[in-house]
Every structure is written in structure tokens, then in C-alpha cells.
Structure 1
Amino acid sequence: KVYKKVRDKCVSAIRGLCTYLYERTGSFDWSDLSTYTGISGILFVSLRLRNDEQLVQECRLDRFMNEINTHVAEVFRRRDKSKLQKNISVFTSNYTAPCLIGALSEHHNKHSTLGMEAFSAYVKCAKYAMNEMPNEALYGRIGYLAGLIALSDAGYPVEQETIHLIVENILREGRYLSQKIGKRRGDYEELVQNRPDAPALPPLMFKWHDKFYLGAAHGFAGILLTLLKVHEKLPNALPEGSLEELILPTTKWLCKLQQPSGNWPSSLGESLNRDRLMQWCHGATGIVPLMLRAYKVTGDEEYLISARRGADAIWERGLLTKGCGLCHGSAGSGYALLSVYQNTGDAKYLTMAAAVALWCADYFTHAERTPDRPLSLFEGLSGAISFLFDMLQPGKAEFPLIN
């Protein structure tokens, strides 16, 4: 259980932040329907709150929830398919994000026209995953796959074959890039800065905008974490042998790139020797959950040790100057600490997460820099609301979508 003082502070902050959000619903930017920076992200966390009737009553959020219900239907109506051929990620697409929100809003009502129409519209986008696009989370296939898993978790009939085809495409491209690098003498050595202690070239390699990012948003961590999640929930959706031959060896490779501080570099190449960023998008905050899931799948203690080292580094450096959001803010740090608590039962990490929650609860005091999208899920106060809500039941906490 969370200490009463922490719970009371979180509830009070949720009430205040939701009131602030409610007062600004009229100024929402309807040109951005995404989950990452737009309206769908705000609705995502609001729907989670709506499912907790006791909290809605305690925080007196009835009017706010009525407004949210109206916005769910409107955001689905305004979905925009103009860029679907290049981007189906639920994080940044103005089409798949509203579809996901529409489906999740009605997942308890199997007779809902909106829910089934939104679900159908989402799964029809799977065909675009065969187009040329990145594999990472924010703009690529993993961002779409994360939405499919969320729909499956919500009880919608996602076909295993659909997931299999997307996973197969991701693995094919990752394997091809690794083989291409391996054939060109000196390429991999340059990427690892000719370090004598560098691990061997992994069987999967991924890049975004010509950089080999390691973190959760654009890199290996988000891709591998989602693939391991597919293994746990739908093991037959993975191509035969891919877990042992491709996914786990690449995860072990990433584990071995951990720095002495407990953090990870943001990318291969020149950044490999830098220890600068400690965020969900770049650094330990987004990689620790991968280490924990790998430990859960394999029982390999090296992953658990790595996760603990990463969490201790987050505790030292995780109160960030970009505010209290998820992507490059303190709420992301809190989620990483909670994930270690969930997987170890070590109350030390719950205490650390609670301290971060108290920091985030004073949102406007500690948001040192105003985010570009101050109300959003991944940059702004909706992310803080999500973390504070999960602190009320820390054993059930889940980072949105990539968890």
C-alpha cells in the first residue's frame, strides 16, 4: 500500500490538474489528434480515470468526464487518413490514434457502434505496415503493434496472423540491416568506436534517420520490449526460433552496452562514449523495463542486475528540467522505478517512485520549462496525471502503450 500522505497528495494533485485541463478543453488543438502530443493522448489517460468510479467521485470529475465522452466521439469523427501510407504509429498518426481511443472508450460495451467501428478501422491499417516505414515506436511499425496489443488486452478480437506478419516484417528488416553491416569491414567497429570491450554485432540492427538509437522512443529498447510482450501474450505470433535466435541475443547485446554509471548511451557512434541523457526516449528510463521483461522471460540474473543499476542511476538523475511529463520529464522516471518495484517487490524502489510522485504532484512548481504541448500525454501534464493515478495502485501501474 502507498503511504496515506502520498495517496492524499496524489489525489489532490489529480483533482487540481484535471480541473486545470477541464478549463482548457475549449482550446485543444484539433489539428493534432495523436497520442504523443495531441488530443488522443489526453483522452487516453482520461479514459483510464473514467474507469475508476470511486476516484471520479472523490475528485469530483463528473463534468470533466462528460466533456471527455463528447471529445472521444469527435476525435474519431475527425480522424485523418492523408498520411496513413507512411505513418500508422498510434503515437503520432492522426488516424490510428483516434481509432484506438474510440475502441478503448467502448471496450466494455460489445454492442457499441463506435467501439466496433473504431476497432475495425484500426485493424484495417495493418496493410500499410508492409509499406516502407521505420520500425521504431513513435513513427513506425512498433507504434502500430503497440496499439494492436492494447486492443487485444481490451478484449477485441485481434487476429494472431496480423501480428505475425508485422513482427515478421520487423525481424526481416532488422536481420537484413545486421547482415549488411557485418559484410562491410569496419562498419560495426566504427559504430562501437573500436572499443575492445564492445559486444559482437547482434543479429538485429535498427536505425531511424540514419542513427542507431538505443532507447524506447526511436530505438532498440522500444522495439525489443514490444516483441517480448508479443512473446508473452501471443507466443505463436512470433516466427519460429526468433525469440532465441534474434530477439534475446539482441537484448543481451543492449544489456552489455550499459555504462559504468548505470545509464545507457542514446545511440551508437559518437554518442556511445557520452553519458548525458536520462529520459524515457533516450537512456536508462526507457531501457530498464526491457531488462525487467527479459529477466521475466529468461530468469537470467544479469538482466535483473542491469535493471537495478539503471534504476539507481534514475534515482540519482531522474528529476528532469523539462518538467513532469513522460517522455523527457520526471513522470517517466517514476514509471521506471515503479517497474523495478513491481518485478522485485523491493520497497526501496516504491519509496523512490513515491518521492518522484510527490515532486510531480507539485506540477507547476517543478515544471521548470514549459513543454511545447503543455497539456499532452508524453510532454505535458496528462503524463503527470497518468503517473499520479498509477501511484494509487502501484502494483498495477503501466506506462502508456510501451510497457
Structure 2
Amino acid sequence: MKNLVILGAGTAGTMMANHLHHELKQPDWQITIVDEREEHHYQPGYLFLPFDLYTPDDIIKTIEEFIPKDVTLLKRKIERIVPTENKIQLKDSTELKYDVLIVATGAKIAPEETEGMGGEEWQKSVFDFYTFEGALALRNKLRDWKGGKLVVHITEMPIKCPVAPLEFAFLADSFFKHKHMRDKVEITYVTPLSGAFTKPKATEALEHLLHEKGINIESDFAIEQVDNEKKTIVDYGGKEIPFDILVTVPTNKGDALMERSGMGDDLNYVPTNKATLQSKDYANIFVLGDASNIPASKAGSVAHFEAEILTENILRYVKGEPLKEEFDGHANCFIETGGGKALLIDFNYTHEPVEGSFPFAGIGPLRLLKESRMNHMGKLAFRWIYWNVLLKGTHIPFVSATMSESGKHYN
């Protein structure tokens, strides 16, 4: 019997378990997935928790619900991977041997990377919403906050779901309008980028929305420290931005397991072939989701498209066939803009977000780079799709793993 081991039972790892258990059957193959956690979190839901739009029950389920019965789930802590010996050392001193390894250990926030960020004001006036604990603490703060300076801040790229900080700013604008206190809140969006987003066409549309909603933007801000006493963030040029509440996206890093295993780069992301999703250093290791260093967005849609392509490449690998260089960095993201509307963007390694229709050329029903209520409904529907379709490895009809250029306007 051969062993395929998946590290991480989050979005990417769970999808791979569901894809592969149909293809690699016992007794020839044993599939094992390892994760120390008890719960599976719908991470896009963290964005809605601070505004009381979702409850914890909406975004938390047990891991077991989504792991196939013929896949072995080990709830253990991992000490390190020994890729030269094809084995994994667990914290309890036991070892797992593998013939094929899939790394899906995700990314985590690292506030300790910025001086003062995790200091005495952490979860008092300085919050994240990229963790369940941070989003819940922020919800409790916003429930009775009387107003002041709200700063939404990105430390550095890459981050999980690059549009989420923008969505937070837009939803905050809508939230305070609904509470009839928007005039008491000054919202400032602070980014290390030269504009609101990583892609020029989308940046233009998103900055227009920021201005329209009265949200200030501070770009090219390379943070040096959070001054807890003065309640300011300070960049390396000495510029200071004051806050009453700082909602920050700290540095994102891959799992520390990669550092312990000597497999990661400076941010603990695993060097990965961007087209095949095979490790650049070890032929029998594959990487997907937020764990890799490929230049694609760290988002659930990307993991979904990767999983479809990686499934075929793993089957090719075990048969000794050449891998397909097929993954094109495809991502599509709904961007909540408040007031019951949202944008939709669709892009890949080589094509930036543009106007058009999705998923059908000329028909839609979703419009690209345009605010609409239909896009908002699509965003809300995604939670149901996530729990009932995506995690179970079911293909979404009419949505291809690689980006279609049909129906898009490249001017």
C-alpha cells in the first residue's frame, strides 16, 4: 500500500481529500490528512462577524463533517517534515511515511513582526479580523463604540484575500450609516501599495468608490511601528497617522512548520512551480492554497481552481506521466461595497480584472467591475456553496479552473 498524506484540513486540504479519495482507492492507496484543530472555519465569514452580519455558528463547523470516511483524519500536532526521508515527525514522537505529500498548511497573521502591533492595545484599540478571536473582539468593540478615527491598515503584501481590507472599509461605512453615526467616524484606508489594489484597472474603480464614500486613502505607507501610547501608526519616513481604532492586517506568513522543516522562504511560504503546483525542491511534494509562494491571490477561489488542476497532476505523477503546466493563477473575488451591493473581479497571472460578464459571455448574470445587488447576492450565496459544494470537491458548473477571456473587455 502507498501513502498520500495531506497536511492541513482547511479549505485546500479538505478539497484535495475529497477529490483524491475517488481516484486513489484502497487497498492500493491510503490517504491521511493531519490537522491539530477541532473546527473548520469559513474564513471569509470573519469579515462579516465584526458587523454582526454573521454569527459564530455561521462560520464554524467540525472538521469531521467534510472529511471522507475512507480518509484517515489525524488530529495531531506536526513537529516537522523530513523531505529527504519522505516522513513527517509528529509532536507525540510518532512518524508518518509518505509516497506523495500535499502541503496545505495555509498562512497566519504575525503581528509580532511589527514593533508595537501586538502590544498593550492589542484587542483593545488595535484589532485584526483575519482570526476568529480578532473578529469577535472587534465585534464587541464596535457594538458600543461612540465614534472617532477608524484606520483600516495593511502591513505588507502578500496577504490572504487581498480585497478583504477594502471590503472592511466599505462595510464599516455602511455599518455606521445604518447606526446613524457616519458623521462621527473618520475612516482612513492605509496601504503599502501605490493604490487601492494590486491591479491598475481594479484600483481605478475601487479608489473611485473610496472617494465616493468619503473614505480617505493613504498609499505607499511602509509601517515601522504601532505607537500604543500615542495611538498612531508610524512609517519609516516618520509619517504618523492617529487612530482611535486600528483595524490592521498584520504580516501574513506561512506555517512555522516550514521553517522548522527547512522548506520555506523568508515568510515560510513553500517554493512552488506556479503552473504545476509541484514543489520546486521535491518531486513528490505538492503545494496549494495559502502555503505556496506562487504569485496568485491567497484566496479560497484560487485554492478551489488549484485543487481541480492539482488532482489531475497528482494522478499523472503516480502514473509516471508528465505534469500539466496548466494553472494560470485564476482568481475571482466578490468585493462587498456596502449598501447591499458588491463588485466582482476575475483575473489571472497575465490578465488584470476588466469589465464584462460572468460566467457567460454577454449574458452574465454577474457583471465584472460593476457594483450590483446581484453580485452581493452572489457573495452571500458563496457561504452555502462553500459548505455544500466547494469543500466536498464538487465542480461548480460553468466556472472553469483556468480563466476564460470570453465576455471580458480588454481595452
Could you tell me the TM-score, scaled by structure 1's length? 0.27
Q: Quick check: which one's strand share is greater?
A: 2
Q: Quick check: which one's helix share is greater?
A: 1
Could you tell me the TM-score, scaled by structure 2's length? 0.27
